[in-house]
Amino acid sequence: MNILGIETSCDETSAAMLCHGEVRSNVVSSQRCHTLFGGVVPELASREHERLIVAIVEAAVTESNIRKNELDVIAATAGPGLIGAVMVGLCFAQGMAYALKIPFVPVNHIEAHIFSPFINEGSSYPPPEGRFVSLTVSGGHTLLSLVEQDLSYRVIGRTLDDAAGEAFDKTGKMLGLPYPAGPVIDKLAMSGNPAFHLFPRALTSASQSSKNYHGNFDFSFSGLKTSVLTWLQKQSAEYIEAHKADIAASIQSAIVSVLVEKTIAAARSQRIKAVSMAGGVSANSALRNAMKTACDKAGITLHVPAAVYSTDNAAMIATLASLKLSRGMRAECRYNIAPYASFTAGARKAGLK
């Protein structure tokens, strides 16, 4: 089966071709126009998607060596995301499927992240086989889910405030780093000391409120943000500049240690021996190393896609459509699927808990 996937939920315009389960192409264009503003400007994002969508889809189809009339299905993100941005890819995909008279499959972006470890290409980790605990960490979401063999899943923990990616981006902005700061902190931290300053780790065994910790798989990163801000305000500009790498490493360590501790605790509590990571933050090298070490110690198998499939990409959209179709979902020739902005609204629509 030849599936064209399209993703435009935030600031990446992406199209990918999945042919008989193999990623033949995955073209991703990351919008640079937001850097100046220190965050994604929704209106600019939609306009950029509009400008690029035809060229990106053409590039993905051409690179795959599949002709458009050989496409069997088109899949696109229907949400959650910036509504105008989602709408560009969703309308384009439904229009194209309608013109080609082939079925269209709407995909939930967060679910696509959750199932991205099923993408084999370029990963040194195997795809999951049975039940697994998924840590999904992106710019807008931080979720722990319990995924069953039949691909149904239940969210068992989520952030109470900021997402992990937001914590990277906002604390990075305080350090004067460009948007998105996550990958910049990752690089900077490589030459820094993670024990330089101990920033708070909320809702963990080490936190003040450890009585609230046991069996609690929720996250909170807003306290970290405040703590970084107030600590930086007490330091001189010269001191911050001289210790930028140490501060970056200390912030990263605070985020990573919480993510690892909660994920392993969740797997233990469910007696599950498999853990996966997905979403932009899971491209973080310190998180990958720390999670691998913790999993090895606990006798847990780790499943992580290659870094290009951790951040936003259309291959994961086509992959989830393929998984659903191979498990009996019927693709319909309906081309009036509406976009949605929030994960819960989308999950409700899809009939999930």
Q: Under the rule (CB under 6 A), what is the footprint of ligand KG4? A: 10, 138-140, 165, 168-169, 180-183, 186, 279-281, 283-284, 311-312
84 binds, among ligand KG4, Zn ion, none (CB under 5 to 8 A by kind): none
Displacement of CA 79 from its chain's centroid (Å): 13
117 binds, among ligand KG4, Zn ion, none (CB under 5 to 8 A by kind): none
Q: How far is the CB of 141 from Zn ion (least distance, A)?
A: 7
Please say which residue, 140 or 194, places its beta carbon nearer to Zn ion. 140
Site for Zn ion (CB under 5 A): which residue of 312, 314, 337, 346?
312
Burial class, 211, CB count within 10 angstroms (exposed 0-12 / middle 13-18 / buried 19+): exposed
Please state, in angstroms and rounded to a whole number, the distance separating the CA atoms of residues 240 and 280.
27
Q: At 137, give phi and psi (nearest 5°).
A: -130, 110
Joined together, the tokens standing for residue 184 give 């910049």
Q: How far is the CB of 9 from Zn ion (least distance, A)?
A: 7
Q: At 149, give phi and psi (nearest 5°).
A: -55, -35
Q: How far is the CB of 308 from Zn ion (least distance, A)?
A: 13
Please say which residue, 81 or 103, places its beta carbon nearer to ligand KG4. 81
Q: Which residue number places its CB atom closest to Zn ion?
A: 138
Stretch that binds Zn ion, among 135-143, 172-180, 262-270, 314-322 (CB under 5 A): 135-143
165 binds, among Zn ion, ligand KG4, none (CB under 5 to 8 A by kind): ligand KG4
Please say which residue, 141 or 324, places its beta carbon nearer to ligand KG4. 141
Please say which residue, 12 or 19, places its beta carbon nearer to ligand KG4. 12
Task: Convert 311-337 to b/e letters by CB count within 10 Å (16 or more is b).
Answer: bbbbbbbbbbbbbbbeeeeebeeebeb
Please say which residue, 19 or 254, places its beta carbon nearer to ligand KG4. 254
Nearest to 21 by CA among 118, 102, 105, 96: 118
Please say which residue, 246 or 312, places its beta carbon nearer to ligand KG4. 312
Number of residues that bind Zn ion (CB under 5 A): 2
Evaluate whether 253 touches 112 at the Cβ level (below 8 Å). Answer: no
Q: How far is the CB of 49 from Zn ion (least distance, A)?
A: 15
Q: At 76, give phi and psi (nearest 5°).
A: -150, 155
Site for Zn ion (CB under 5 A): which residue of 8, 138, 142, 284?
138
- With vertex at residue 110, the alpha carbon angle to CA 164 and CA 229, rounded to the nearest 5 degrees, is 15
Q: Which helix or strand (DSSP H or E) is residue 231 part of?
A: helix 222-233
Please state, in angstroms and rounded to a whole number, the distance separating the CA atoms of residues 337 and 93.
11
Q: How far is the CB of 164 from ligand KG4 (least distance, A)?
A: 8
Determine if the peptide bond prior to 183 is cis (ω within 30°): no
Stretch that binds Zn ion, among 12-20, 55-63, 252-260, 308-316 (CB under 5 A): 308-316
Stretch that binds Zn ion, among 39-47, 97-105, 160-168, 310-318 (CB under 5 A): 310-318
Q: Which residue ranges make up the site for Zn ion (CB under 5 A)?
A: 138, 312
